[in-house]
Structures are given as structure tokens and as C-alpha cells.
Structure 1
Amino acid sequence: MTDARPTFADIEAAANRVRGAVIQTPMLMSRTLSAIIVAEVWLKFENLQFTAAYKERGALNKLLQLSNEEQRRGVIAASAGNHAQAVAYHGARLGIPVTIVMPEPTPTIKVVQTEGHGASVILHGRVFDDAYTHARVLEKERGLTFVHPFDDPAIVAGTGTLALEMLAAAPELDTLVVPIGGGGLISGIAIAAKTIKPDIEIVGVEAEMFPAMKNILEGKELVIGGDTLAEGIAVKHPGQLTRAIIADLVDRIDLVPEAAIEHAVALLVAIEKTVVEGAGAAGLAALLAEPEKYRGRKVGTVLCGGNIDTHLLANVLVRELVRCGRIARLKIAAEDRPGALASITAIFHECGVNIIETNHHRVFTALPAKDTMIEVECEARDAEAVARLIARLEKAGFKVERNSLE
């Protein structure tokens, strides 16, 4: 392996190296998602890896190619996410000392998980770029080998093993939809897939807030930045090696909005009973956001990671209930008199809608002083039940306003 882009032979060699140490995850067709999108949709469950992400493939392939001396001295990486755990886990398995540099604001749970795999964690800087710069300094000072998260031919070759497994399980696939952050995942997949099936379409997906690769390859100047749910692909500076591969082999790059990513995460829990992080659901989000592009096709996508904070996941699932109309927050204007609230709750009861929480607002409201604003959070069987409730309230003389996520 050289600094040049990896070949199909390099990817086959990587598959042989990591076999038995990395899980050959399931590749399954989703009947329900296929019906929703009107296509044949296949999912590669990389969230079922031991560290819950595909990053193990590239990390292990890199570590196994180090010389004995490099393994003895140890490796260093900069990451606050899946790459950190992959390098730490396989480094410990192989007896290689691992140092991980993380930004200071990294959640404690991620630090603890990485240390739990035997790595030495150094917190430095406010953002990833600070941690990355410090890691490169320590690399030289301590004589360590730097393990890049994506811009390394060994890493790219390791990720390419995914395409071998996907096309072995579903050889009739005509389209692969793959998330893009730094570009390592889609680069390896594109090399392998285009070698096996030159006419297969490769579609890259970036979060709408982080269109870095699209900007570079299409000469655009779209704004980059924001609190995306898909933090695993929130990369401002993609790789040099990966951008060259993507320019040659990827057919197009699509952007997905936050609402589509949230919807995909929630659907995977509801339909496939599987937990996937925002970045891991980006490929499915693209299918759901623009199904007309994939209608009638045989499409494969990678659920590339499942490391999502449980509280954040809970928020995503509740917000999905709001979007589909099962949970609503209503502002109901009423006279501030005895029995007004009882009249309102009676209508809720008649419509079969459950009240979760209520709040009275008498002061901070534009209503007349004799009136009150009653804010009600409620849960119904479906959106139609909430619509019937609102109609009944308005027929009874109450003015109703419904809050929205948009």
C-alpha cells in the first residue's frame, strides 16, 4: 500500500486481513421501506459492529499493516466519535498502545468509552481542528504513527470491504447511497463497487448544514456549519485523497435537511427496530426526502453507525410523533372563569385525546385581562383525532392555535 489511491486488489487484501475480527454485518431488504419509497431498499447494518460503526474496518486494516516497531511505539488519532473507539478497541486487541486526542467539550460518556477500550485520552482545544493539530504535534514528538480517520489509503481500502459484502448479498443492486463526511467510506465503496459493476450508480449524501464535498467538487459556496444531528459527517475539510476518488467515481452528491435525518432515525427504530445515529441514517434520509429519484430501482445504503445519545434519541422519537400528528401542543384562548378548563377537558375526553400537560398564561399574553391562554400538550391515536379535537373546540367557541416544529 502506498499513498496512491487503493486498488480493488488492496480492498480484497483488506477483506482477508480483517476477516474474523470485524463482523460481517447483515445486509437485508426492508419490505416496509421498499413499499414506502417504491423501490427495492437494502440496508447494511454496520451499526451492529462491536463499536457500533463501520470505522473498525479501516482502523483495523491500518493497524495490521504497521511494522513491528510502529506497533511497539504506538499510534495516535484525533477523534471525538466512532474513529476513536475503533482505533482504541482494535489497538487493545493487538497490544498496540493507543493515544486519542479529543476536544475538551467531548461528552464524558465518549471519553469513558474510549478509555474503556484501553486508550490514553488527551483533551485538547475547543473543536476538532484543535485536537487534530495537537495530535500531529504529539505524533512527531513521541514517534507515534498517526491513524487518520479518512484520508489514508489503508483506511479507504478497509471501508471498501463493505461494498464486497453488499454486492455479494445483493448482486442485482443498481444504486448505492452512501453518507459523506471526510469521504473515506464512499471512496472505498466506490472503488470496489465500480470495479465489480461499472454501471452501478454511486450517490453521496451530505447533511445540508455541511456540504463541504459538494462545494469542493461542484464549485459551490454553500454555507457550512450548524448543530446537525448527523455530527458523524459534519466535516468542514474533507480529505485530499478522498475528494480525488469521489470526483472520479461518484455520480452525484445530494444534500439532506435535518427533518429528513430525524425522520430516518425514527423510522429505523419503528420499522427495523434498530438504533442508528444521524450520520448513519443519512443515506435512508436521502431516499425518503426524494423518493422519485429511486422509484423502481434496487438501492443499497449503509447504516454506518449507531452511537447516538439516548436522551437525544428520545427527543428525536418524540419530535417524530409531533410531525406525524400524534402529539400536539395547542394554545386555547378562554375566559378566565370557573368551569372554563372543565369545559375544555370535557371536549378532550369526548374526542379520545389524552392530556399530557397543561399551563395557564394570564400575564404574558396579548389577550384581554379577563381571558387566559391555556396551553395543552396532548397525545392522540392519529393526526385525524387531533384535527377533530380542534374542530370541536372551535365549534364550542374557543380560539385554538397549534404549535409547529417548522
Structure 2
Amino acid sequence: MLELQDFQAAKKRVDEVIEETKLIHSEAFSLESGNDVYIKPENLQKTGAFKLRGAYNKIVKLDDQAKQKGLIASSAGNHAQGVAYAAKKLGVQSTIVMPSHTPLIKIEATKSHGANVVLHGEVYDDAAKHAVFLQEEYGYTYVHPFDDEDVIEGQGTISLEILEELPDVDVILVPIGGGGLISGIACAAKNINPNIKIIGVEPEGAASAAAAIAEDQVVLLEEVNTIADGTAVRQIGASTFEYIKQYVDEVVTVSDYDLMDAFLMLVEKHKLVAEGSGILSLAGLKKIEERNKKVVSVISGGNIDVMTISSMINKGLIARGRIFTFSIQLPDKPGQLQLVSQILAKLSANVIGVDHNQFKNFARFSEVELRVTVETNGNAHIDAILQEFIDLGYKIERIN
């Protein structure tokens, strides 16, 4: 296992390329979670994610022979950019294999750093297998995204920065994909203060660490399904699993709806944008039992395309009860739409969409369906709207 001096040496190396990502205190997430919450914004890193730390630390330690062979890596996006950036900085050729459905922003960013990009497979694991094939075919030097001690060492430098700023931190929440980030953070933090609690956060649709812990061995998930594409890993690393067993205190899972909720709050309250994988630790704040503790949530990355941002905002608004759609049955006669509008106006609900359906198969021929989408102030406001229509004798159904 790595020791504190290993992380300290790595910190000197990665300081050559990384941005300083100072902790941000969050009143909003503190109030919601009942803890004193700080954000470690690695989404503001040069390549938009923490991965640059591990990639650079790994590549700069390679001997000249290994570098001359050229590098190959597999990644869902962030490791790709880290390797590509570090390789270009050090004058080394790189080839990156990425899943076919990787967001375009990550593909283009990787190419912009001079890497040769190969698209292969549906998920990270498919890309990883193809990268190994290419390595054997052409003799490249492989840079693993997480199951490598030099990479783990680089990621652990985050802990040194957290503890320098906040020496009395009680809990650190860390996203888990393949396990490299949490392995480095947990090992470095525990070497400084064994009492710090390390909690990993996984998406429910790709909980390979939780599965491994339950079976006490690395488990290959049958499938992964999550909006957190950067952590859509079917199997955590063998080395990282050993670090997790030794240094991680707890692993919690969050749903895609939890992620959308946290995304919206981060954008609204902090004007920060992060990808689905990046906000796992913020979504995880609702899942932990700790209260009145100093908690750091690591935002691991912010590489997200505009279309996904739009979708996340819309779904986040729904998740937080800020947008509400309902259907209501009305008599098929003039003036009914105006009555509904007046009721909503009285309740301060802003109408943003209306669909009038005369052709639905109703119990009575003289009825029509009105589907309305309104902007609200939250779930309590929604409950008040529903109750008002029920009290007035309307048949109302919540759609979302």
C-alpha cells in the first residue's frame, strides 16, 4: 500500500500542471444535509476533471523507452483528456479508446490535446478490452484509468490539499467509478488522520464497488445504466478494491433522480456546472447518517455537453418540485380553461404549457382532458394546488 511520502512526492510532480481548486463552503448543501459542507471543485481543473493528476503522475514517472512506444488508454472521457493533455505536455504520442456513445464534448476535447481517438463498444469495459488488444498489437505503453498505483498516487494528492485547508474535516465523500479516486483520497487521508471517515458514492445503476463489498470479491455487473457515464464501470479494479476494503468506511448509492436534484442545486446556488459522475458526492449528502460534521464533497468532473445540461436542468426542476404537470377532467363547454387559469393564478402557479384533448375515451362523452404544466415553488406548493382542485370537485391526476 502507498504511504504518505508517496503522495507528497506525487504532489510536487502534479503541481507542475494542475490548477489550484480551493474548497468552497456551501450554505445551501449544509442547510439541506445538516452538516457543514465544503465542495472540492475538481470540475474546475485544466481538463475539467481530477483525472489529470493521476495521468500526469503516471506518465512523468515512465522511463524514456516506455514513452517512446507511445501511450494507449481507455476512458469514458475524463481520463482520456488527462492522458492526452499530459502526453502532449511531455512530448509523447497517445491513443485513446473511448466508448462509442461518449459525449461529443469529451471526444473533441481529447482530440484537441493531440490524441488519436478510437471509438469502440457500448461502455468503458468494452473500450478497455479493445485498448488491451491494440496495446498487444502495436506495443504501446498502457495507462490504466484507475487500477494502477501511480495513478492512485496522483489522485490522492487531492487529500493533501483538502487537509491543508481544512485540517479538522470529519468526512470526505468521493465518487466511485473504477475506484482510483477514492483509493488515493482514502489512503492519503487515513495516513494523515485515521479518524477521518471516507464515504464512497456510486450510481445505483453501476454499483460495482457495493457489489464487490457484498461478495468480498471483485464482481462483474451484468449491465450498467446511469446518467453518470464517467462512472459507468461494470467492474472495479482488483487493486482499488483492496484499497477500498482497507481505507473506505462506507459506500452509498444514489439514483439518477438524486443526481439531477443535486445538479440543479449546484447550478442555482453556486453557479457551477458538473457532470453526472462529478456530483455523486453531493447527491450522497442525503444518504449519510452524519450530522453537524465538517464534510467535504469532491466534485470529480465537469465535462458535460450543452444538450445534457438542458436535460439535467429540466429533470432536476421536476425532481425538486419546481415544474409540475397534471391532467384534469373538465366539462366540454366554453369557459372551463379560463376557470382553471384563474385558480392557478390565485395559487401563484405560472402556466408554461397546456394541452387540450377532446378525443380521450372518458367515462362521459361530454368531458375533455386538460393537461397543464406549471412552474411552482416546490412540493408543498404542488400539494396545495392539488388540494385546491380536489376541494373544488375536480378530478385531477399528477403526471410528474
TM-score class, shorter? over 0.9
Cα contact 1:209–1:224 (8 A) shared by 2:
no
Which of 189, 194, 199 is the matching residue for 2:195?
199
Distance of 1:383 and 1:187 partners within structure 2 = 38
Name 1:374's counterpart in structure 2.
Answer: 370
TM-score (norm 1): 0.92
| Counterpart position of 2:166 | 170
- The aligned counterpart of 2:254 is 256
Query: Percent of aligned pairs with the same residue?
Result: 39
- 2:263 — aligned with what? 265
- Residue 356 of structure 1 and its aligned partner are, at CA, apart by 1.2
What is the alpha-carbon root mean square deviation over aligned residues? 2.1
Note the 1:75-90 alignment, pairs <5 A. 75-90=71-86
Offset of residue 256 of structure 1: 1.9
Greater displacement, 250-259 / 185-194? 250-259
The reply on whether 1:139 has 2:139 as its aligned counterpart is no
Query: What letter matches 1:120 in structure 2?
Result: N
Q: Secondary structure at the match of 1:35?
A: helix
Distance in 2 (alpha carbons) for counterparts of 1:229 and 1:65? 34
Partner of 2:30: 34
Alignment check: 8 A CA contact 1:211 1:224 kept: no
Q: Displacement, 1:277?
A: 1.5
Residues of 1 paired with 2:156 and 2:388: CA distance?
Answer: 58
Counterpart of 2:228 in structure 1: which amino acid? A
Q: Does 1:364 align with 2:360?
A: yes
Range 47-56 or range 352-361, more displaced:
352-361
Provide the C-alpha distance between the structure 2 equivalents of 1:129 and 1:222, rounded to a whole number of angstroms: 10
1:5-404 matches, cutoff 5 A:
5-219=1-215, 225-290=223-288, 293-404=289-400
Partners of 1:108 and 1:261 in 2: CA distance: 21
Deviation at 1:160, TM superposition (A): 0.7
Shift of 1:35: 2.5
Query: Residue 102 and residue 383 in structure 1: after superposition, are their counterparts in 2 closer, same or farther (change >3 A)?
Result: closer
**Conservation of the 8 A alpha-carbon contact between 1:264 and 1:288:** no
Give the count of matched residue pairs: 398
Q: Deviations over 1:213-256 (max 9, x none)?
A: 12212228897644312222221111111111111111121222
Question: 8 Å contact 1:367–1:373 — kept in the other structure?
Answer: no
Bigger Cα displacement from structure 2, 357-366 vs 71-80? 357-366
Matches of 1:237 and 1:18, distance apart in 2: 28
Alpha-carbon distance between aligned partners in 1 of 2:58 and 2:149, rounded to the nearest angstrom? 9
SS at match of 1:279: coil
Q: Which amino acid aligns with 1:263?
A: D
Unmatched tracts of structure 2, length 5 or more: none
8 Å contact 1:42–1:301 — kept in the other structure?
yes
Q: Give SS of 1:241's match.
A: helix
Kindly tell me: are residues 392 and 198 of structure 1, through their superposed partners in 2, closer, same or farther at Cα, counting changes over 3 Å? closer
SS in 1 for 2:374: strand
Q: How far is the alpha carbon of 1:279 from its aligned partner?
A: 1.5
Q: CA deviation at 1:9?
A: 1.9
Deviations for 1:312-356, whole angstroms, at most 9, x for unmatched residues?
222222233223333211201011122222222233333332221
TM-aligned CA deviation for residue 127 of structure 1: 3.4
Note the residue ranges of structure 1 that are not aligned, 5 or more in a row: none
Give TM-score scaled by structure 2 length. Answer: 0.93
Q: Which amino acid aligns with 1:16?
A: K
Distance 1:15 1:287 in 2: 28
Larger deviation, residues 215-224 vs 115-124: 215-224
| CA apart distance, 1:49 | 0.3
Shift of 1:391: 4.0
- The aligned amino acid for 1:253 is V
Secondary structure (helix, strand or coil) at the match of 2:156 reads helix
1:383 deviates by 4.6
Q: Deviations over 1:282-315 (max 9, x none)?
A: 112111234xx12021212211111223222222
